[in-house]
Amino acid sequence: MDYFPIFLKLQGRPCVVVGGGDVALRKVRLLRQAGARVTVVAPELVAELAELADQGEIAHRAGEFAEADLDAAVLAIAATDDRDVNRRVAAAGEARRVPVNVVDDAELSGYITPAIVDRSPLVIAVSTGGGVPVLARLVRARLESLIPASFGALAGFAARFRDVVKARFDDVEARRTFWESVLEGPIADAVVAGNVEAAEAQMAQRLAEPDKPSGAVYLVGAGPGNPDLLTFRALRLMQQADVVLYDSLVAKELLELVRRDAERVFVGKQRANHTLPQEDINQLMVRLAKEGKRVLRLKGGDPFTFGRGGEEIEELAARGIAFEVVPGITSASGAAAYAGIPLTHRDYAQSVTFVTGHKKDGSIDLDWPALTRPQQTVVVYMGLSTARELCAAFIEHGKAADTPAAIVEAATTTRQRTLTGTLSTLPDAIDAAAIKSPAIIIVGEVVSLASRLAWYRGGNPGAGEGSKVQNGERGE
């Protein structure tokens, strides 16, 4: 180990930055974030540093560096483009036992400044010993994507309970086990989700009954199918879950991202074949959570957009089960974006309406006056089985037969197929191409843009007469 990693407490302590340019400005920002009292030594300052000096936020000694500038300093940074000046700063620091960093010059530096992931009070420093700063920044960028911004809140939350937990558990091993269960379980998830009040209540219960299982349910939107469209939060929960309840709209590629030793239970609904009634799904989630398990309810698209998420969390709330909802990219948004069909457009549609293809009783007795208004886009979920009746109903209720319409199968995946046509031609095209679920129907003038805006390259479909098939090719 070429450098000893250390975190210095600089609140209220004097630090000196030599140089008044943009590099010096970046270092001043870091020092101020750490609470240091900063003095900048330079003949001139860039605008932001000058403003800070005018406001009294930093001190400024105008002029060239003098060794006496470091007499009271506990830390110094040389940020000039003159190596002779930087060498003098380093030598002055060495003589006074003041650590000096010379920016981009490890040879002259008494310490180096790492790449920083700031989740205060959690701070992560990454260093390559000054040899390859770019690599340190790349590692930091990866850590930034892996570590939630709210981890700082989690660190602060845990620190508040440190003494209480220490008093509750005399044994070090018992304390460690307790903290692992807290920091990897529902309490931490509640803090990360911003629900600190719920986390505090759960923490009090855990301290009172440390051996009682503590489970939770996470309703997670898996998006339209492409794994790259998952949120970071969704991916983290998928890799932490003990049990996964998934439906038929969740792509197989997404299930591959679930923790390998997690139990997987298919609870999906397919056409004319409901594997589990909704009430049974609700009761299963409650039972598993009460057993202390982290239950992932993985849903295609977004849980609150025709995903019955509201019904499920009503039951969880009534039974006192901790839960969290993680939004996903809706199937409508994913299908439209990947088919090159803007859902709204100033020239074609000023509103968009989402609707299911049939009601709970199987009918298509929808609000047709609202759905046939001009200059709007209508997106139909679960309309494949009634596509012919739907298109006929649009026409019957006043929509022109040549209104552009499309269906997108397996949107955003490599199996995506997009058929475009009109209300009169789309049903036959669907039959001819043997389109299968999951599929989204889009009706409106915006569909006419697909031939020009389609960008995604999917599979190799076939088309029926009167339609166009697009797979990301521009045009037909």
* β-bridge partners, 299: 221
User: Same domain for 285 and 337?
Assistant: no
Q: Which residues contact 333 (CB under 8 A, 6 or more apart)?
A: 224, 343
The three-state secondary structure class of 8 is coil
Q: Is the pLDDT of residue 467 over 90?
A: no
Q: Is 118 annotated as a binding residue?
A: no
User: Same domain for 347 and 301?
Assistant: no
Q: Is residue 403, in this structure, part of any structural domain at all? A: yes
pLDDT band at 185 (very low <50, low <70, confident <90, very high): confident
pLDDT band at 463 (very low <50, low <70, confident <90, very high): very low
User: Same domain for 324 and 221?
Assistant: yes
CA distance to 7, 89, 120, 218, 398, per residue, from 10 (Å): 9, 20, 15, 41, 72
Q: Is 89 annotated as a binding residue?
A: no
State residue 362's pLDDT score: 57
Interval 101-124 mean pLDDT: 90
Six token digits for residue 409: 């199968």
Q: Is the pLDDT of residue 473 over 60?
A: no
User: Same domain for 18 and 98?
Assistant: yes
Q: Do 321 and 290 form a contact (C-beta atoms < 8 A)?
A: yes
Please say which residue of 113, 138, 158 terminates a domain: 113
State residue 273's pLDDT score: 53
Q: Is 301 annotated as a binding residue?
A: yes
Q: Is residue 7, in this structure, part of any structural domain at all? A: no
Q: Is 189 annotated as a binding residue?
A: no
User: Same domain for 337 and 462?
Assistant: yes
User: Same domain for 258 and 314?
Assistant: yes
Q: Is residue 396, in this structure, part of any structural domain at all? A: yes
Please say which residue of 329, 363, 395 terminates a domain: 329
Interval 330-337 mean pLDDT: 95
Q: Is residue 93, in this structure, part of any structural domain at all? A: yes
Q: For position 249, which CATH number holds?
A: 3.40.1010.10
State residue 245's pLDDT score: 95
Q: Is the pLDDT of residue 215 over 70?
A: yes
242 is catalytic: no
The three-state secondary structure class of 474 is coil
Cα torsion through 400, 401, 404, 409, rounded to 10 = 130
Q: Is residue 250, in this structure, part of any structural domain at all? A: yes
State residue 176's pLDDT score: 86
Q: Is 163 annotated as a binding residue?
A: no
Q: Do 441 and 336 form a contact (C-beta atoms < 8 A)?
A: no
Q: Do 388 and 427 form a contact (C-beta atoms < 8 A)?
A: yes
Q: Is residue 339, in this structure, part of any structural domain at all? A: yes
Six token digits for residue 256: 């591959």
Angle at 422 between CA 400 and CA 429, to 5 degrees: 145
Cα torsion through 298, 303, 306, 307, rounded to 10 = 30
State residue 476's pLDDT score: 27
- Across the chain, mean pLDDT equals 89
Q: Is residue 177, in this structure, part of any structural domain at all? A: no
Q: Is residue 208, in this structure, part of any structural domain at all? A: no
Residue that is written with structure tokens 């479909």 in the block: 461
Q: Is the pLDDT of residue 272 over 90?
A: no
Catalytic residue among 247, 293, 299, 399: 247
State residue 462's pLDDT score: 36
User: Same domain for 355 and 230?
Assistant: no
- Report the distance separating Cα 187 and Cα 211, nearest Å: 15
State residue 67's pLDDT score: 96
User: Same domain for 442 and 392?
Assistant: yes
User: Same domain for 352 and 456?
Assistant: yes
Please say which residue of 113, 129, 144 terminates a domain: 113
Q: Is 22 annotated as a binding residue?
A: yes
Q: For position 404, which CATH number holds?
A: 3.30.950.10
Q: Is the pLDDT of residue 125 over 50?
A: yes
Q: Is 23 annotated as a binding residue?
A: yes
What would the pLDDT profile of 139-151 be if each residue is shown by its tens digit? 988 888 778 888 8
pLDDT band at 234 (very low <50, low <70, confident <90, very high): very high
Q: Which of 83-92, 173-182, 267-276 has the lowest mean pLDDT?
A: 267-276
Catalytic residue among 105, 118, 242, 269: 269
User: Same domain for 229 and 323?
Assistant: yes
Number of domains in the chain: 3
**Which helix (H) or strand (E) covers residue 440, if one does?**
strand 439-443
In terms of pLDDT, which residue wins out, 5 or 13? 13
What would the pLDDT profile of 28-86 be if each residue is shown by its tens digit? 999 999 999 999 999 999 999 999 999 999 999 999 999 999 999 999 999 999 999 99
269 is catalytic: yes
Residue 264: give the domain boundaries: 215-329
User: Same domain for 342 and 459?
Assistant: yes
Q: Do 7 and 31 form a contact (C-beta atoms < 8 A)?
A: no
Q: Is 224 annotated as a binding residue?
A: yes
State residue 394's pLDDT score: 96
User: Same domain for 224 and 297?
Assistant: yes
Q: For position 44, which CATH number holds?
A: 3.40.50.720
What would the pLDDT profile of 387-402 be if each residue is shown by its tens digit? 999 999 999 999 999 9
> Shortest CA distance to 347 belongs to which of 377, 385, 322?
377
State residue 350's pLDDT score: 95
Q: What is the pTM of this model?
A: 0.67
State residue 470's pLDDT score: 45
pLDDT band at 274 (very low <50, low <70, confident <90, very high): low
State residue 471's pLDDT score: 39
Interval 362-382 mean pLDDT: 89
State residue 287's pLDDT score: 93
